[in-house]
C-alpha cells in the first residue's frame, strides 16, 4: 500500500476549532460520500494537533493520510468526476491549497 500524507494550513481568520469542526464534520463526510472512496481508498485518516506541555506548537493545522493500493488507484480517484466536482471544490473552504505539503510513503507497521 502507498500512504499519501498531506500537511495542511487552515485559512487565515479561521479559528482552530472551526477548522477542526469543518474538516471532521463537513469535509471528511463529503470525501467519504463519493463511490470512488469505497472503490479506491484503503484508509483515510484526519489528524489535528493538540497542545501538550513541553512540546513546541504544531507547524501545520492538520495531517491527512490517504492510503491506496497503487498509483493507478490514486490517479483514478483524484481524476474522478466526483472528486473533481464535489470534493476538490470544498477544499478551498477551509485550507490553503497553495501551501499543502505532500509526501508518499511505504508504511511499515513495526508494532
Give residues with Cβ within 8 angstroms of 35, minimum separation 6: 82
- For residue 82, count CB atoms less than 10 angstroms from its CB and return exposed for 0-12, middle for 13-18, buried for 19 or more: middle
What is the structure's pLDDT at 25? 98
Domain of residue 40, CATH code:
3.30.70.100
109 sits in which H/E element: none
**Position 111 in a domain:** no
pLDDT level of residue 42 (50, 70, 90 thresholds): very high
Residue 97's domain spans which residues?
Answer: 2-104
**Position 48 in a domain:** yes
**Longest distance between any two alpha carbons in the chain, whole Å:** 45
pLDDT digits (tens, 9 = 90+) for 3-21: 999 999 999 999 999 999 9
What is the structure's pLDDT at 56? 95
Helix residue ranges per DSSP H, 1-111: 16-22, 28-33, 35-40, 71-79, 81-82, 88-91
Coil/strand/helix, residue 32 = helix
**Position 110 in a domain:** no
If you average pLDDT over residues 21-44, what whole number do you get?
98
Amino acid at each position: 500500500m502507498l500512504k499519501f500524507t498531506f500537511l495542511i494550513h487552515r485559512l487565515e481568520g479561521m479559528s482552530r476549532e472551526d477548522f477542526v469542526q469543518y474538516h471532521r464534520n463537513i469535509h471528511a463526510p463529503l470525501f467519504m460520500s463519493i463511490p470512488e472512496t469505497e472503490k479506491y481508498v484503503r484508509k483515510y485518516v484526519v489528524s489535528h494537533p493538540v497542545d501538550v506541555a513541553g512540546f513546541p506548537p504544531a507547524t501545520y493545522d492538520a495531517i491527512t493520510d490517504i492510503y491506496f493500493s497503487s498509483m493507478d488507484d490514486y490517479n483514478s480517484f483524484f481524476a474522478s468526476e466526483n472528486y473533481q466536482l464535489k470534493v476538490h471544490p470544498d477544499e478551498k473552504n477551509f485550507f490553503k491549497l497553495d501551501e499543502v505539503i505532500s509526501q508518499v510513503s511505504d508504511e511499515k507497521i513495526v508494532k
